[in-house]
Amino acid sequence: DIQMTQSPSSLSASVGDRVTITCRASQSISSYLNWYQQEPGKAPKLLIYAASSLQSGVPSRFSGSGSGTDFTLTISSLQPEDFATYYCQQSFSTPFTFGPGTKVDIK
Amino acid sequence: QVQLQESGPGLVKPSQTLSLTCTVSGGSISSGGYYWSWIRQHPGEGLEWIGYIHNSGSTSYNPSLKSRVIISLDTSKSQFSLKLSSVTAADTAVYYCAAYYYASGSYWFDPWGQGTLVTVSS
């Protein structure tokens, strides 16, 4: 199985801050990497697919980059509705695996 | 716009079989670009992919659960189902159905159902 790790596991930030979350795969996954946002009590929501493509309807303050084993999700200016947990997920091979999540809360 | 909705018992006894159904609306369950999937999330933890089924009938399961899982498709009802046998307390989780979509050489889970909590307890 491909193991996914994320850092940090949690972070505190203020509205307007630039936030960067890192995801690392245990082997090269090319650009088969997706990012999801999960608010408490809700289903995950797709933000970024194929490492850097913004899902339709997702604000442009979200961006993704990387390939191979190292990826980043950046929120350029944190908004109140962005306080949530973020997961990366590899779609390179089965079993599809998710990172453990990064919780973003209010500073 | 495809929408998914899970249904099924919220309480299952140990050693019994967990059965959930996902109803697909707003699109065709027979669409070739979709792999109909189940994912679970243990309380306060991360996400675990259980498996998927394609409308061709092909399936793929997580090896960690493969011996206990069956995913099936009923195109006449626009539904797909999950059966997980011999459940224990470790199977207590929120279960999501999701569409694993293929486009432009990439795959992703979107959309997701709202999720349903299944508790395994006597």
Backbone angles phi, psi at B66, to 5 degrees: -50, -40
For residue A107, what pLDDT is reported? 86
Question: With 90 as the cut, is the pLDDT of residue A87 above it?
Answer: yes
Nearest Cα to B2, choosing from B40, B41, B39, B29?
B29
Verify whether the Cβ–Cβ distance A50 to B46 is below 8 Å: no
Q: Are B53 and B74 in contact (CB under 8 A)?
A: no
Which among A31, A87, A96 has the least Cβ separation from residue B46?
A87
Backbone angles phi, psi at B20, to 5 degrees: -130, 150
CA distances, B57 to each of A4, A32, B29, B50, B109 (Å)? 29, 24, 12, 16, 19
Find the residue in A nearest to B113 (Cα): A43
pLDDT bin (cut points 50, 70, 90) of residue B82 is very high
Which among B60, B62, B112 has the least Cβ separation from residue A44?
B112
Residue A40 CA from chain centroid, whole number: 16
pLDDT bin (cut points 50, 70, 90) of residue B111 is very high
Which among A43, A94, A101 has the least Cβ separation from residue B112?
A43
For residue A34, what pLDDT is reported? 98
Question: With 90 as the cut, is the pLDDT of residue B103 above it?
Answer: no
pLDDT bin (cut points 50, 70, 90) of residue A102 is very high
Verify whether the Cβ–Cβ distance B113 to A50 is below 8 Å: no
CA distances, B13 to each of A6, A27, B17, B44, B119 (Å)? 35, 39, 8, 22, 8
Q: What is the pLDDT of residues A23-69, one digit of tens each?
A: 999 999 999 999 999 999 999 999 999 999 999 999 999 999 999 99
Calpha distance A30→B25 (Å, rounded): 33
Question: With 90 as the cut, is the pLDDT of residue B32 above it?
Answer: no
pLDDT bin (cut points 50, 70, 90) of residue B53 is very high
pLDDT bin (cut points 50, 70, 90) of residue A16 is very high
DSSP-derived secondary structure for A67-91? ETTEEEEEESS--GGG-SEEEEEE-
CA distances, A43 to each of A86, B10, B84, B94, B96 (Å)? 12, 17, 21, 10, 8
Calpha distance B108→B94 (Å, rounded): 20
Structure-token match 């191979």, residue found = A68
